[in-house]
Amino acid sequence: MAQVLEFKLPDLGEGLTEAEIVRWLVAVGDVVAIDQPVVEVETAKAMVEVPCPYEGVVTARYGEEGTELPVGAPLLTVAVGAPGPAEALSAGSPAASPPPAPHVPAPGSNGRVPSDGSTRDEAPAAADGAPAAASASAEASGNVLVGYGTGAPVPRRRRVRRPPLSESTARPVNGSAGPVPVVSPLVRRLARENGLDLRNLTGSGRDGLILRSDVEQAIRRGAMSPALSVPPLASGATAVPAAEPSRERPGATRVPLRGVRGAAAEKLSRSRHEIPDATCWVDADATELMAARTAMNAAGGARISLLALLARICTAALARHPELNSTVDMAAREIVRLPEVHLSFAAQTERGLVVPVVRDAHARSAESLSAEFARLTEAARDGRLTPGDVTGGTFTLNNYGVFGVDGSTPIINHPEAAMLGVGRIVPKPWVHDGELAVRQVVQLSLTFDHRVCDGGTAGGFLRYVADCVEQPAVLLRTL
């Protein structure tokens, strides 16, 4: 007899609490192998193909494409040990047996129903009284992603059959006690810190699930009236005051802040709120640097990119000014200086701006840096970056000159402490060897966290970078 196992959205790492279904790779009735990718999801970090840890027949899928699911929500169910799709589907059809009702979620669960309208039940017991889940251990790969394994599932108790979670059951009347359709502890904390009563919100998720975006929208609009507010918080913070409903302009279009763009919005807002940044800049004559690159590429071998040369200059400058390769731990009131340079760089894609990370940039040659920049840029444009490719950066190199602009005052990539900006390199009049000449000039800027250093350190870093750009031989003295 087939055993139906539930596969939930796993923890994808880096504190991610939800993911959006981009594309289903299997349909109900399909036979899946162990570790076969079954769905493509977009997190706040990257696009990820999620592999299924079980082998069998797909009996239900949870969530349509475009739906945002919290970590721990069901993705699909698989009939393990089923001989074929026909038997699996007939066994789960209404004509074969009365459909078991889904359980009402406990705190921390999800309470979702499959997108195809089917239902599910707890794992049946084996003939000898032992949980049937134990017999499925051989069907699991033993591999893991982050936070979940593919070994035998833990036996679960049967729950009382109750109707599915709906608006009538999820939202209590007149503030009475009752279950609130919230999965993420982050959502509950956000609401609590802003004095927002979740019982008075209608979630935009499936079955009325309250998402983080629902809470943030309510906070922004001041949608909660005084009568529905909770008492002041212990810290002294008060509830969000009521505000008049916003009046939509005719023809206005709302674009959800999801995925990459939503993550960028949250990260940039946090950076601007937490980091006291300052910016200094300088113009530099890049003629000799451009000539050096031309000579290196003319010598044959792998081509060296301009970004790779600038990265080599960056890592040499950070070796002289390690204060800028750090992060701030405000809980401990400490500056944490980091031993390795993991160099972040901005890459523009159709899905928005992403920031891949070159690991151990300080230990790489110009050739290795060129190859890694090319690999990560291609992966970013194709949507193949993994969460590990876009996390853990310690310093950012931002070449906004590719957009045809000279300068910028960028927002620091939290939790890093500094960012070097490089404008376009263009012919300009320049005093060279005491005479006016046309030279290749670039504007360099450094935006830094004023908590980790003062202007003297920042200025020294930027001046060293400019000296290496103007006279690449300066870099040789540090190698």
Query: Which residues does the annotation mark as catalytic?
Result: 450
Strands (DSSP E) contained in 197-305 are 277-285
CA end-to-end span of the chain = 68
SS3 455: helix
> How many whole angstroms separate alpha carbon 201 and alpha carbon 354?
32
What interhelical angle do 306-320 and 455-470 show, nearest 10? 140
> How many whole angstroms separate alpha carbon 283 and alpha carbon 105?
60
Question: Which is nearest to 76 in space by CA: 53, 100, 58?
Answer: 58
Kindly state the tokens that stand for 343. 């160099």
Find the angle CA(153)-CA(157)-CA(159) to the nearest 5 degrees. Answer: 125
C-alpha distances (whole Å) from 411 to each of 9, 289, 332, 398 are 32, 27, 24, 11
> How many whole angstroms separate alpha carbon 452 and alpha carbon 468?
24
Strands (DSSP E) contained in 209-289 are 277-285
DSSP state of 387: G
What is the number of alpha carbons within 13 Å of residue 20 lying toward its C-beta?
Answer: 21
| Identity of the residue numbered 473 | A
Kindly state the tokens that stand for 386. 């993994």
Question: Which is nearest to 73 in space by CA: 181, 224, 234?
Answer: 181
Q: Helical H runs in 344-425?
A: 366-382
Contacts of residue 269, defined as CB under 8 A and 6 or more positions apart, other chains included, come to none
* Sheet arrangement for strand 47-52: 47-52, 36-42, 18-24, 68-70
> How many whole angstroms separate alpha carbon 372 and alpha carbon 361?
10
Q: How many other CB atoms sit within 10 Å of the CB of residue 198?
A: 20
